Structure formats: C-alpha cells, structure tokens
Structure 1
Amino acid sequence: MRALVTARPEPHRVVDADGNAEPYRRQLSIDDRVALEAALDAADEVLAVGVGGDAAKRCVRSALERGADRGLHVAFDPIEGIASEKFAAALARVAARESPTAVFVGESDSFAGSEVAGLAAARLDWPSVTRITALDPDDLAVEADVDLEASELPVQRKLAIGRQEVVVTALPAVLGVDSGFTDPDRASLDTAIAGRRATIETLELTNVVPGETRFSMSIGNATVETVRPNERWGRGRPPRSETVEERIYRMLGRGGGGTKSAGERIDAPPDAAAERVVAFLEEKELL
C-alpha cells in the first residue's frame, strides 16, 4: 500500500521541568501524528504532505523524522489558518498527482478533521471512512467474517462511547483516523537522522491548485452578492415620524398609530380584494 498523510501545524506550548512555559510554537498536530502512525503500520511507502508556509514545511520535516519516506510541501505565504475546503482541494490535487492507495487524515473527533477527509474524498470521487480506530484485521475488536477482494480494506470505526463497527471500504479511499487509534511513538535515532537529512519536494500553490491565492486559501469559499437598498417606501422615503417600531410597521404595511395587527384576511373575489388592498395602502399613505 502507498499512503499519503496530512502534516498540519497546530500550536504547542512546552513547559520545562521548572514549570516555565515557552511561547506557543506551531508543530505537527497530535491528530496527524496519530494518522502518521496508522499510515506507517499499514503502508509500505508513506508520503507526508504539508500545505502553507514555514510551519507546514517544519511539520513535513517532523513527519520525515518520525518515519515518513517522502515529504512534499505545497508552498505559499498564508494570511492565517487555511480553510478546510481549501486544504482539502490542495490535498486532493496532490493525491491525484501521486495516486496513493489511501489518504490518511488525522481527526480529534467527529467534527475536527472529518470535514477534510469528506471534502477531499468528494473531490477525488473516492469513498471515505472517518473515526477509524483499527486497520489491522488482528486488531479489530469486532469480529467480522467477510470475504474481501484485493482492492478492499476492513476498518474499525467509532460510533459512540463504547460502540464500534467494522466496515469494508474499496480502495483507493480517504481514511479519517481517530485520535484514539494509538499513542504516537518516538522514532529511532537512525530514523530521526535520516528524516533530518531527507529532501522535501516543494511545489508552488499555483502549480497545485490554479486560481487560488493566499487570500482565498484563508477565507474559504465565499459568495458575493450586490445588495441594493429599497429606497421606495411609501411615497419614496421611509416614514420619519413616530417611534421606530411604528415606522417599521408602517413600512411593512401593517398599520401605525398604535396598531400592531399582523394583517387582515380578505374573504372576497380577487377584484374586490384588490380594491380593498389599494384603499388600505392609500389610507396609510403607502401608495
């Protein structure tokens, strides 16, 4: 199996033995460390992918020092955090380029991380499974007697506290790894040294996701609409007299002068009803 795993930064604060806390530093997230462990256990080759600035590149380096075989950095200068749908778009483009058997995404619960897995899977048109707690058939807590094809993978996923299920997914797939999958281990010294010396491939953002900018990557998908104020209330302008509430009622055609009726139901033929509506609007100086 060839695996692609996310390498996203999150703020960490280190407290030394004397209880002194250092300023926050952005390091490889705990969730992605767990996802990396899952990928290393299941795959023969692991590619760590970071998207962003220097912090993302440091996370890729950290993944290499923990055992990843290759590192790839989609480089740009972010304004702030990357929107989930934009990160998923870049991740999907890299996955399409590298053709892995599975994409591993770390997630701390059903709401943090699972949206990246789902969005990337939708872009790739791959199946996705989230909240995975086991991949090795020998580690499945739920007994599953199924016939598997070569392109299928049984996974165990969390449903709720104390509840698990085993599902079979076709490959390639996007796998959201639950933070309870395992406790990340420290790599051996030889692995750490090799990861420190490894070369990280760098791709510019525009070469991976054409049309995206450092601004769009942070704000996510946005819809811009032109809103035109309605300047023709009553006889051209909103009423200026009476209280704010009474003026609002007048603009809505619901009366004024203490009248707060939500309206009147007119049981009459269309022509007669129209005449009564016109008379009402003229009486209230709204026509």
Structure 2
Amino acid sequence: MQTPPYLTPEALTTFIRTALAEDIGDGDHSSLAAIPADARNRAHLLVKGEGVLAGVALAHLIFREVDADLRVEQRLNDGDRVNHGDIAFIVEGRSRSILTAERLVLNCMQRMSAIATYTAHLTSLMAGTKARLLDTRKTTPNFRICEKWAVLIGGGVNHRYGLFDGIILKDNHVDYAGGIRPAIEATRAYLERTGRQLPIVVETRTLAEVEQVLEVGGIERIMLDNMPPAKLREAVELIAGRFPTEASGGITEQTITEVAHTGVDYISVGALTHSVKSLDLSLKAF
C-alpha cells in the first residue's frame, strides 16, 4: 500500500498526543494509585471476532508516544484476516505505561479493523468488475486520519481527504451557483485565479445534467448520484469513457454488485466509515 499524503509523522503525532491528552488529563490515577512505579509486565492483543486487522502500525506509534521503552513483538500485520483467538502482538515494559496506552490502542484498532473488514467485504461483492470502492467525508471528527487509513488497509480507495485537496461540486453547490455550467466555469476561473491545481468532480442527478457536464468539460470525474442501475448504465453509455464515473448515494451491500456491473469506475459508500460495528479486541495481561 502506497503511503497517502495525509499519513505524515507530524499528523500522526498530533492525533496521538491530542487523543492521549483527552484521556489522561493530569494523570492516569488508576495506574498511578494501584501499580508500583517499577513494575514491569506483558500483555497481548487478543482478537475476539473475525475480520480484517487494522491499526497495528498505529499501535506501535501510540505505545512509543506513551513510553519509548515499551517493546512490541508483532505477530500479525495490518490487512491480515483474523479469527477469534488470534494474537496480534505482545507488548512488554512498564505496567503503568501499558495500562495508560491500552484504551487508545483498543479504541483505534477496534474501529479501524471494523472499517477495514467492511471495506474488504464490499470490495469482494464487486469482484469481476472494474469498479473501485471509495470512501467519503462522512467520518468521525478528529478521527478521519484513522478511518481513511483503515479504508486503504481494507482494499478501498480514498476520496479526497478534506475540503482542501479536491473539489466536488455537489447538488447544493450546483444549485447555489445557478446550474452545472456556471458552477464549473466559476470553479475553473477560481483555480486559474488562485494558481491551484485541484481535481474537479461534479455530481449529477439526471442524464440532462450529465449532458451539461459533457458540454462544458474541464473536469476530472462525473458523479452519478442516486441513480438506479438502469439509469447508471444509460449514463455510462452517454459518457462513453470521456471521463471516469462514480456511482454514489444509498448504495448498500444488497445493491453494490448490481451497481458495479453497470460499468461505473468508482462506487462511493459513506457507510464504510459511519455505520460499522467495532471488531472485538482486548489487551490482556498474561
């Protein structure tokens, strides 16, 4: 997996330190009160469900931030299929440090593994087609870096990371701008005026809007929003390979296979990051 631009050491350190500050405050008083300062121990990350593991690399960084002397013996990797009873890693060092890091490691890994698992599942339902699975900006505030990362681990593709690294002219943008043509023309003028080079994706709701995008051009991809499969096929035929296509809006595991077979290049699913159930993991002393 190629490292995406948002996974910088600075971004990850900021995320981890902010999350630890939220959890620890002025001290992990449970551990400070009950555990001797010089106590050392071990714990293993126990998998208690089935799915795709994600967040192992992040766990290393969290343990290192809490205590650089903690040592992690890794047994499984991000992207591995796991079953109940598997051991992902063993961490060894100061007992207080292990306990302080425990919940942040679990919170991140449980949700990341759930996203990776669902991403892999939906991707498998698209087998035999050219369609690729995209995530969206429907993410948890301040946790996007982990959720987008988990999509990649599960075999999906990241859409833009945020509002700053790509332009998507959605229905409200189009309506506020006065239509497809003025929205695209204003956007292209803005990019030229500001010297920015950003991809432009335009959301369309009807075949008439698709035709308008084709007339104007100058964009990167056409999004086909909330179109039933028959209409998607019409749109793909109309576009005829001039621009990549993306199906979006209300796509579920019950419908994604049929949508993928319409010939679209991408399918975006917000549920990847907003509607998953965490994979059960536990950090157990032994």
Q: Which has the higher contact order (CA 8 A, sep 6+)?
A: 2
Q: Give your verdict on TM over 0.5.
A: no
Q: Structure 1 or 2: larger helix share?
A: 2
Q: Structure 1 or 2: larger strand share?
A: 1
Give the TM-score normalised by structure 2: 0.22
Give the TM-score normalised by structure 1: 0.22
